[in-house]
């Protein structure tokens, strides 16, 4: 049975790991949290037990994701603070309606909503034609992972004109997310995606767009479609599920793509 000392040391070790991940010195973190460096040292080594309010303050200062804040509270011997409800839960009705409104309003251009593991939780009708290109049926079985769908040889990869650049871009985004969340599922996903073939010398289209973004270029029978994307997140979520939802909206990067999708 775990003792109070075990609990303190477990929390302290996790706190130090997060501080290190954020590249903060003990002194800088102590100043940010408005506590003494000695007090912080005692917490990290398990010599001092933080209060619930202190745990919340420390996790906020480190900008730890809500799901991991719950884990930190548990490690310190307290009950989780943030609820994690299903997106279809009645209490999230307004949020779900906002997601659907954004997706629908973006048509005729594609848009998707993904969770923290890049699983698609919602999409608009403009996504359907692209899913029909997928040869590997298992990639379309729920939950659909959009990174796997994009880079898998049986997915959209054969149709991506700048696959090398696009793969590099997605892996950079994923690496940043891993740095922020330390999510082991994402670590495994990163290893899988890196193993997928992609010609790193595939010519990109950066210069065509002023080198201001990495385009997503699909070569289809009717011609090449080029997109750039934006990410929308909830501004002040206190629910774990909402804090992890991101809406990616794809916009035409040139007139040819705009005309192909909108007809004008």
Q: What DSSP line would sit under 119-149, residue for residue?
A: BEEEE-GGGHHHHTT---GGGGSSSPBHHHH
Let me know whether 104 and 69 are in one domain. no
Which CATH number belongs to the domain containing residue 42 in this structure? 1.10.260.40
pLDDT of residue 2: 54
Same domain, 190 and 235: yes
**Domain end call among 17, 48, 75:** 75
How much of the chain is helix, strand and coil, in % rounded to 5? 50, 15, 35
97 and 213 belong to one structural domain: yes
pLDDT of residue 198: 76
**End-of-domain residue from the set 75, 100, 133:** 75
pLDDT along the chain (264 residues), means of 10: 67 96 96 97 95 97 96 95 95 96 98 98 97 97 97 97 95 96 96 87 54 88 93 94 97 95 82
Angle subtended at Cα 126 by Cα 124 and Cα 132, rounded to the nearest 5 degrees: 110
One domain, residues 139 and 198? yes
Q: Per the domain annotation, does 83 fall within a domain?
A: no
Do 51 and 115 fall within a single domain?
no
Residue 225 has a pLDDT of 96
Query: Is 85 within the bounds of a domain?
Result: no
Q: Is 117 left (phi over 0), alpha (psi -120 to 50) or beta?
A: alpha
Asked if residue 146 and residue 210 are part of one domain, the reply reads: yes
Same domain, residue pair 118 and 141? yes
For residues 111 and 230, state if they share a domain: yes
Query: Do 218 and 242 share a domain, yes or no?
Result: yes
Alpha carbon distance 184, 190 (integer Å): 10
Phi then psi for 113, rounded to 5 degrees?
-115, 130
Identify the pLDDT of residue 19: 97
Asked, for residue 192, whether it belongs to a domain, the answer is: yes
With respect to residue 170, please indicate whether it lies within any of the assigned structural domains.
Answer: yes
pLDDT of residue 221: 86
Instruction: Please tell me the pTM assigned to this model.
Output: 0.89
Burial 31-47 (b: 16+ CB within 10 A, else e): ebbebeeeebebbbebe
Identify the domain boundary among 75, 103, 130.
75
Domain tally for the chain? 2
According to the model, what pLDDT value does residue 5 have? Answer: 62
Within a domain: residue 84?
A: no
What pLDDT is stored for residue 4 in this prediction? 62
CATH number for position 228: 3.30.450.180
Residue 121 structural domain? 90-262
* Same domain (yes/no): 105, 181: yes
Residue reference for tokens 């930190």: 72
Does 252 lie in the same domain as 176?
yes
């Amino acid at each position: 049975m775990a003792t109070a000392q075990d609990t303190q040391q477990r929390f302290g070790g996790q706190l130090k790991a997060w501080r290190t991940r954020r590249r903060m010195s003990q002194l800088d973190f102590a100043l940010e949290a408005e506590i003494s460096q000695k007090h912080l040292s005692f917490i990290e080594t398990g010599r001092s037990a933080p209060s619930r309010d202190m745990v919340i303050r420390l996790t906020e200062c480190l900008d730890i994701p809500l799901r991991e804040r719950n884990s930190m509270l548990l490690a310190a011997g307290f009950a989780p603070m943030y609820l994690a409800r299903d997106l279809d839960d009645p209490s999230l009705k307004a949020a779900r309606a906002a997601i659907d409104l954004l997706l629908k309003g973006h048509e005729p251009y594609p848009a998707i909503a993904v969770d923290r593991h890049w699983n698609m939780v919602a999409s608009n009708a403009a996504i359907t034609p692209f899913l029909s290109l997928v040869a590997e049926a298992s990639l379309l079985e729920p939950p659909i992972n959009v990174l796997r769908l994009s880079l898998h040889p049986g997915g959209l990869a054969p149709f991506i004109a700048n696959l090398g650049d696009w793969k590099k871009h997605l892996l950079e985004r994923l690496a940043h997310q891993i740095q922020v969340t330390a999510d082991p599922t994402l670590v495994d996903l990163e290893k899988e995606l890196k193993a997928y073939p992609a010609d790193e010398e595939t010519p990109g289209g950066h210069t065509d767009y002023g080198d201001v973004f990495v385009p997503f270029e699909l070569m289809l029978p009717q011609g090449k479609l080029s997109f750039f994307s934006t990410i929308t997140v909830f501004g002040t979520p206190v629910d774990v599920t909402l804090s992890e939802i991101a809406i990616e909206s794809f916009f035409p990067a040139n007139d040819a793509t705009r005309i192909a999708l909108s007809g004008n």
